[in-house]
A and B are shown apart, each in its own frame.
Chain A
């Protein structure tokens, strides 16, 4: 599982460094390790959507803890990606209530349209498809999460096409 070394130096931007200080100061003195989960999210957001060994070691140094304390946490929580992912990570909920409202169909539609299997990334690096467990959107199934957003009621092919188009346009606009 763990982990990939890129050989590249990682460093937070000025803005993120400010955020780091702000987060660490939330906790009582000597309890700065509580900032670990939030800092790993920050690192993942800033360093391309996943955590390299370098990124984890960087966070360890910031919190004055051992690298292993970061690795054991990063491998425990499902939101931390330990290998590179596409620009858009599509996380489809596959748990019971979503399943009975068509989650399996949604996964196969995405596999077909993106020409990848669950867990893979498209060759253009745009999309990674991943099934996940309950995202607390059971009444609005089937659904997927992409970054900050929940896309719910994806019960027709048109809606899936629309979503993929929207994301492709977003990528094109940013390039």
Chain B
């Protein structure tokens, strides 16, 4: 369960430079892909079962197969490196440590999509990463893997590093496209989907950095081989960025299907709880996914061991389960206050709402203010139901999933920690100094 295919070369000195990366087998997938039919490359990615690693988990090969090649309009690949989901810092790690792996994936994917211009949209705060990527592009170009007439095959490809400027919403693919066109990041109504009408109205595929970084291995070894890694429906490996009250925060590549207990407590991964505290709750896949109390996180409602996979984490639906999401793994110990954390998250979503849809624009602000009142000792019992009502009215009623992402953490916090909200309202003074959670003593 510790197989590595993305980070296997991470320890090699100088792996961020072209010569070292190349002499360790890098760019082989580009050579292979140039000899394949583009549709066959897409087929291999389909067979691999790779699911979008940005959070939604949509099958990558299927997404690529939707791209309109018949109309003859220019096609674009856009690599989504706008990593901003609280808890998530894996793409940053990949680009920093293995920029050529990301580029190789982009070139191979561009060959599959028959694109001659591709973009990597990097969040503006990652200024040093933009430099790393630009340097890697120059190196790849000098070596003939980018630019005109790649490796003498007649195939042309340019890759442009595009800078964001601080907007979580631009991680949503149509907002990203708007931003790339030099506009505000307001998501578009779908359909039409980007595969038909995306950047400049042309067919476009937007894929996450980690999804694209998995492509070279899939092309080199075949989709069927990739599908053997992990567990059925959750094939392959996943980068998990672990943070919160644990001993070893950081980025880990795991084989999907790893038991969550191992990931959380084994020394090779999170290494257990910091300062010997008890586990209270976990947000398993970035701030948007439902928070789970310790008991439900470690075991499903049926008493089965929970695994790090799309299906196992979702077992029980939102009533007792959550989602793998982006792999942003946030661990809370017994001293953490769920009300304060939920208020913090709603402030984030309120700040990041683009403001197009009333339920999200207004609702996120209402949730933030209600939670601020409860957290600061001015709450009423009726506020809890009001909060539930507001999140319910946001969910499903917006153009893009930011509305859902703002609603789900609130719903889950009330669902699993209602008593903690009630205590904040009943004992406002005491909740300032003490924390009333339902920390079930789990494994220490």
Contact = CB atoms under 8 A, between A and B. Distances in A.
A100 B86 contact: no
B217 interface: no
A20 B272 CA distance: 50
Given A28-B117, A37-B163, A73-B184, A139 B241 contact: yes
A173 B266 CA distance: 48
Interface string A16-48: 000000000011100101111110110000000
B399 to A, nearest CB: 16
B85 interface: yes
A78 B165 CA distance: 7
A97 interface: yes
A69 B181 CA distance: 12
A77 B124 contact: yes
A109 interface: no
A138 B241 contact: yes
Given A95-B348, A139-B249, A37 B182 contact: yes
B314 interface: no
B167 interface: yes
Contact of B341 (A35, A38, A76, A100): A100
Contact of A133 (B126, B127, B168, B244): B168
Given A40-B165, A138-B241, A140-B249, A96 B330 contact: yes
A167 interface: no
Contact of B163 (A41, A72, A148): A41
Contact of A137 (B89, B181, B332): B89
B287 A41 contact: no
B165 A77 contact: yes
Given A63-B182, A101-B245, 20 more contacts: A26-B160, A31-B200, A37-B182, A76-B354, A77-B185, A78-B165, A78-B166, A95-B344, A95-B345, A97-B87, A97-B243, A100-B330, A101-B243, A133-B168, A134-B85, A136-B88, A138-B330, A139-B89, A139-B241, A149-B128
Interface of A: 26-28, 31, 33-38, 40-41, 63, 65, 69, 72-73, 76-80, 94-97, 99-101, 132-141, 145, 147-149
